[in-house]
Amino acid sequence: MLRWIALILLLALIGLQVKLWTGNGGVHEVETLRTAVKKQGEDNQRLLQRNQALAADVDDLKHGEQAVEARARAELGLIKPGETFYQVVEKPGAASSAPLPATASDSGQ
């Protein structure tokens, strides 16, 4: 009788171990979820930093005249009255030997 109880308990232990290691909600699934949570946390941190940088940029544009002026000069090529615009054009052979990175217009997109 004691042997049967020990055998039943051993089979139950084996069954529980199999479910723990291979079943739904088992060790493998928990490890997969931990990895996904870690990756999502890293993505969230990266996006938080980007959002903070964008918020600072928006604040500068709302409250700082210099930021608006700098952006207008860089993106629109605007100059103040009385200033003289100079554009430096290099000779075709004088360009650096390193290739320029491709842009959407370069690749036909």
> Going by C-beta distance under 8 Å and a sequence separation of 6 or more, which residues neighbour residue 61?
67, 68, 71
Q: How confident is the model at residue 35 (pLDDT cuts 50, 70, 90)?
A: very high
User: Which are the contacts of 78, defined by CB distance < 8 A and separation ≥ 6?
Assistant: 72
- pLDDT digits over 59-99, tens only? 888 887 888 888 888 888 888 888 888 888 888 876 555 55
Residue 30 is predicted with a pLDDT of: 87
The answer to whether 60 and 67 have CB atoms below 8 angstroms apart is yes
User: How confident is the model over 28-56, as a mean pLDDT?
Assistant: 94
**% of the chain exceeding 90 in pLDDT:** 28
Query: What span, in angstroms and rounded, lies between the C-alpha atoms of 41 and 38?
Result: 5
Residues in Cβ contact with 73 at an 8 Å cutoff, skipping those fewer than 6 apart: 79
